Structure 1
Amino acid sequence: MSQTFKPFLLQLLGGFALMLLPVHARDDQPGFISIDCGLAGNSSYTENTTGINYETFIDTGERKSIWPEYSNRYQQPYTSLRSFPEGKRNCYEINVTDGYKYLIRSSFVYGNYDGQNKVPEFNLHLGANLWSSVKLESASTITHKELIHVPRRNYIHVCLVNTGSGVPFISALEIRPLLNGSYVTKGESLALDIRFDTGQNANLTSYRFPYDAFDRIWNGYYDNDWTQLITTSTIDNSNDFRPPEIVLSTAATPKNKNGSLEIRWLPSDNVTEYYVYMHFSEVEKLPGNQSRQMYINRDGELFRSSLVLEYLSTWTIYSTEAQSSGGQYNFSICKFENSTLPPILNAIEFYMVKEFLESETNQADVYAIKDINPQESYPWTCPQAD
């Protein structure tokens, strides 16, 4: 049964300003809210590289444009912004369907819009809860803050909070409905740390909508010790995560046929717990005398055992409860001794746990793997490559 989403409404709360106006979802973008925060009031457009329809209705705050030397690097929603020099806290209120899962993305490009060439710092809140501190690397860089959240009310507040280190601003605010069976946690919200398309070569490319039905942004990743496998065949990506076919159509595999895929991750926050999601699809049709049998270690200990992929099918392996953080983590995707082919990986995501004040509903935890019944005495350490 298809999901039905209630109409979305937008308002900005700041000073005495209060606006309540409809935000429209296009038929090919069901449930999408796409706000170009720097767009002139009561106007809209279709972004020509994604086909996403952006709107805005806000006339509080100050509408600004980034400098031309920066604007030609970005899609249209990121070439203007709305700053809030007045008030300590300014919030967008967005009506949602309580109990459904959403991706919430706030985007920021400073672009020296004020001519001060001084990048501000401020806080981003979801309601009364700290979501993240916004600290841009430079005037030219874009920063996305992305959250997966199940609201317990029929609205959310996305708020910019002045911390005394510059005027808060926002370039774009995007809300995307997800399938409730994806990104299952014990009730926590998830803040994106990294999302990589690991099957790319050195010519890195990013993908989002329309390649990704949920408009997640997949950044390319390349490792000198890896090589690329490619298929042009259609991949069945119909699990709850729906990783895009274009991402699944390439896979990383070690150049050394007896090697493993080594993934080293240093969390941006070494205190918070995290969840990891690994996406796999077998892109090679294996003859009867070949096999690809894998297992996954985390810091030398077994994380997932006995993974065998079906040709052109999609498998997502993930932690079913929050993992402890505290430093660099090393994941190894290894081949079994009797496997004739090395391991592969198509994409990977890491999320930091966010505990918000609202109570959340526990959800069942499931993951999709195919068990090949390894011996219990198997030494779960990746063999050394020749």
Structure 2
Amino acid sequence: MLIMAVLLLLTLLSLSSPILSLSKYINIDCGASESYLDSDKVKLWAGDKGFTTTGKSFGNSLKNPLNTLRFFPSGNKNCYSNIPVTKSRKTLVRTLFFYGNYDDRSSAPSFDVVYDGKHRETVQFTNTPQLNNRVIFISEVIYSPASEDISVCLIRTSKSDVPFISSIEVYGLDADMYDGIGPDEGLLRRKLVLYGFKNIKRYDDTFGRLWFPLEPNEPVLKTSASSIDITGVPNKPPANVMAKALSQDIITLSTKTLPLAGSQIYLALYFSEPKSLGRTMKRSFNVFLDDKQLNSVPIVPVFGKATEFVTRDIVATSKSQVFFRSTSDSTLPPIVNAMELYSISKGVGGDYGGGGQSGDDPDDDRNKGRNKKTKPKPNEDARLKFEAAKQAATATHQGKPKSKLPVILGASLGSAFASISSVFVAIFCKRSQNAKSQSNTEPATSTGSAAEAGVEPLVGEQLASDSKPPRK
């Protein structure tokens, strides 16, 4: 055991330094006052001091980074600004909102979140107050920033509703991913689904995407290939999410997370033939949105290799359906392994966006002793904040007693869903449990309407106390 502990310690020390030096994208734990490293992914989380000058922090009993939030009782627009990114590089920005009845009103607020003054989405929870205490709202956008720092702004849309936010995550994507996105366009997440999965495992995605598994009632095929080759697939889905596929004569996928009035969408579907086919066997099918065929050439999945089909700029509504039909010469039914569905944002600006901040609260401890609002320098200060957060996290990490380091590494390598990942385990499990009682072609979301596209359930252990006390 001692030898194993030493080996684990050496592994941790060898990994931590390079990971920190390569950690170019920052993640903000909203409401937190300190920076730290995620013990699961060795990812840097920075406290939000210096990124916003307004609002108040609140702590709860969840695991970080969901154990704090920042709420904004004053002003119509409050922003996080100077978040460092790489100019013109496709970037995924995710914001999480966990209400948890922090204000004892049992009424989750509704408000808007605006990314870089261009891409706007409404944060709207369910119509069931009890359920809102156990769900999180996920908002994501993929776009190419026009500068080296970005903003995330919360817009009050009702006098009675107070905006809040739990965390902000930023991930850089490869140049060939999500090809065709214009400089002013963005992709707003509607759903990312893995088909055929029941038990939750860790689906590592180096680009930070969250894939929610769904075990349907229909037949599921498991690949017999030793590995799945994703070479040449532009959007680079994780190879291990291609291990299972939904299979039936006619596959129908719902799009109810879209608005009822309809919107232009970006749809990506992924396929991999699960078995080596004999000469007389063939799997060939076409993809339709309602009554319109989307593909010009039949899809023929390849054994041990991923195939991607992408279409965009078509209009779909919450009542639309994506379905597959076999071609006349196919001897096997259609399959699908995974799906990504986004609404296309055209990046229309407005006075609600930008990197500015409004609504300073004189009672906010961040504003005490401050006679006037100071505007940070755009790029320089963003980098300084990032480096300061990195150094603080590094110091905290290296300052831990040596006797605890093997335990930390055990949490990192042995416990696959520590910290934030454990939250998503709970989400995944709940979705899988609900999938059987609802449509077998759609992930189980909260009760509801298209407006609840980002709502995901939290269950069980996430409402229990963490080992750390809430930070306030």
TM-score range, shorter chain: 0.7 to 0.9
1:165 to 1:135, Cα distance in 2 relative to 1, 3 A: farther
Structure 2 residue aligned with 1:382: none
Q: Does 1:76 find its partner at 2:68?
A: no
Q: Does 1:106 find its partner at 2:95?
A: yes
Alignment identity in percent? 27
Gaps of 5+ in 2: 1-16, 127-131, 350-472
C-alpha deviations, 1:196-231, integer Å up to 9, x for none?
Answer: 001224x5x3755xx111110001123323423244
Does the 8 A contact of 1:253 with 1:343 survive in 2?
yes
1:213 to 1:224, Cα distance in 2 relative to 1, 3 A: same
Map 1:359-374 to 2 at 5 A. none
Q: Does 1:248 find its partner at 2:237?
A: no
Structure 1 residue aligned with 2:76: 88
One-letter identity of the residue aligned with 2:115: L
Q: Does 1:312 find its partner at 2:304?
A: yes
SS in 1 for 2:316: coil
Give distance in 1, aligned partners of 2:146 and 2:216: 41
Q: Does 1:266 find its partner at 2:256?
A: yes
Following TM superposition, by how much is the alpha carbon of 1:30 offset from its aligned partner in structure 2, in angstroms? 4.9
Does the 8 A contact of 1:26 with 1:53 survive in 2?
no
Does the 8 A contact of 2:228 with 2:305 survive in 1?
yes
Does the 8 A contact of 1:229 with 1:253 survive in 2?
no
Following TM superposition, by how much is the alpha carbon of 1:25 offset from its aligned partner in structure 2, in angstroms? 9.4
One-letter identity of the residue aligned with 2:151: H
Q: Does 1:160 find its partner at 2:148?
A: no
Following TM superposition, by how much is the alpha carbon of 1:27 offset from its aligned partner in structure 2, in angstroms? 5.1
Give distance in 1, aligned partners of 2:161 and 2:341: 30
Structure 2 residue aligned with 1:119: 108
Following TM superposition, by how much is the alpha carbon of 1:161 offset from its aligned partner in structure 2, in angstroms? 1.8
SS in 2 for 1:192: strand
Q: Does 1:185 find its partner at 2:180?
A: yes
Give distance in 1, aligned partners of 2:18 and 2:76: 31
Name which of 194, 199, 223 aligns with 2:196: 199
Structure 2 residue aligned with 1:281: 272
Following TM superposition, by how much is the alpha carbon of 1:291 offset from its aligned partner in structure 2, in angstroms? 2.1
Structure 2 residue aligned with 1:332: 323
One-letter identity of the residue aligned with 1:310: V
Give distance in 2, aligned partners of 1:166 and 1:327: 26
TM-score normalised per structure 2: 0.62
Give distance in 2, aligned partners of 1:150 and 1:40: 29
Does the 8 A contact of 2:27 with 2:169 survive in 1?
yes
Gaps of 5+ in 1: 1-23, 359-386
Following TM superposition, by how much is the alpha carbon of 1:273 offset from its aligned partner in structure 2, in angstroms? 1.1
Name which of 335, 338, 348 aligns with 1:344: 335
Does the 8 A contact of 2:263 with 2:344 survive in 1?
yes
Structure 2 residue aligned with 1:8: none
One-letter identity of the residue aligned with 1:189: G
1:176 to 1:287, Cα distance in 2 relative to 1, 3 A: same
Does the 8 A contact of 1:40 with 1:63 survive in 2?
no
SS in 1 for 2:298: strand
1:29 to 1:215, Cα distance in 2 relative to 1, 3 A: farther
Does the 8 A contact of 1:185 with 1:322 survive in 2?
no
Give distance in 1, aligned partners of 2:344 and 2:18: 29
The structure richer in strand per residue is 1
Give distance in 2, aligned partners of 1:176 and 1:25: 17
Following TM superposition, by how much is the alpha carbon of 1:313 offset from its aligned partner in structure 2, in angstroms? 1.1
Between stretches 172-181 and 56-65, larger displacement belongs to: 56-65
One-letter identity of the residue aligned with 2:268: Y
One-letter identity of the residue aligned with 2:170: I
1:276 to 1:130, Cα distance in 2 relative to 1, 3 A: closer
Q: Does 1:219 find its partner at 2:209?
A: no
Off by >4 Å, runs of 4+ in structure 1: 27-30
One-letter identity of the residue aligned with 2:230: N
Structure 2 residue aligned with 1:355: 346
SS in 1 for 2:65: helix
One-letter identity of the residue aligned with 1:212: D
Following TM superposition, by how much is the alpha carbon of 1:54 offset from its aligned partner in structure 2, in angstroms? 1.7
One-letter identity of the residue aligned with 1:344: I
Following TM superposition, by how much is the alpha carbon of 1:102 offset from its aligned partner in structure 2, in angstroms? 0.5
Give distance in 2, aligned partners of 1:276 and 1:196: 12
Q: How many residues align?
A: 318
Does the 8 A contact of 1:206 with 1:219 survive in 2?
no
Following TM superposition, by how much is the alpha carbon of 1:278 offset from its aligned partner in structure 2, in angstroms? 0.2
Does the 8 A contact of 1:276 with 1:348 survive in 2?
yes
Q: Which has the higher contact order (CA 8 A, sep 6+)?
A: 2
Structure 1 residue aligned with 2:228: 235
Does the 8 A contact of 1:47 with 1:76 survive in 2?
no
SS in 2 for 1:26: helix
SS in 1 for 2:241: helix
Give distance in 2, aligned partners of 1:194 and 1:44: 30
The CA RMSD measured in Å over matched residues stands at 2.4
Does the 8 A contact of 2:258 with 2:317 survive in 1?
no
SS in 1 for 2:19: coil
One-letter identity of the residue aligned with 1:91: C
